[in-house]
Structure 1
Amino acid sequence: MSEPVVYDRAPAELDLEPGEYWWCACGRSMTQPFCDGSHEGTEFEPVPFVIEEKSTVWLCNCKHSKDKPFCDGSHNDLPDDIF
């Protein structure tokens, strides 16, 4: 299994309206942290998630969270040379 592209160490802090969203798991999207279809031809698939009410969320940008799409602090355990 290949590794995703690390977009950023810091999570994306976003105020999201209710709705369905697609989080980029491959790290290649030009609309980070959301999917733009750049995963085509890779083994990665976007992660769908639903926001029920307007919320502030922290979405993972390092692509290594165990709680995808949300940041779980995994970026703190990655080596500095990956960024």
Structure 2
Amino acid sequence: MGEPMIAQKSPYAVEVIEGKTYYWCACGKSAKQPFCDGSHQGTEFVPIAYKAEKTGPAWFCGCKHSGAKPLCDGAHKKL
């Protein structure tokens, strides 16, 4: 698999709603970061579904290199 484009070298803080599913951009090309807008079409990347377990803040990976996708695990600090 190719390398995703780094959207930003920090997480995106998003207020999520319990039970709602969000589709995280895995390719890094979406104009609606951190979520998918279909920009991955024609690539090997696909968005990753995230279902919020509770209402509140979630930190979605912005660098696209997290080992805990779609959430940030600090991987951006090594880029």
Give the TM-score, by structure 1 length. Answer: 0.90
> Where do 5+ consecutive residues of structure 1 fail to align?
79-83
Question: Segments of 4+ in structure 1 off by > 3 A?
Answer: none
Deviation sequence 1:30-76 (CA, Å, 0-9, x none): 10000011100000000001013212111000000000000000001
Is residue 62 of structure 1 aligned with residue 40 of structure 2?
A: no
Shift of 1:21: 0.6
Higher Cα radius of gyration: 1
Query: Within 5 A, what are the aligned runs for 1:30-69?
Result: 30-69=31-70
Matched to 1:68, the amino acid is: K
The alignment's C-alpha RMSD in Å is 0.8
> Where do 5+ consecutive residues of structure 2 fail to align?
none
Give the TM-score, by structure 2 length. Answer: 0.94
Tell me the percent identity.
49
Partners of 1:11 and 1:21 in 2: CA distance? 15
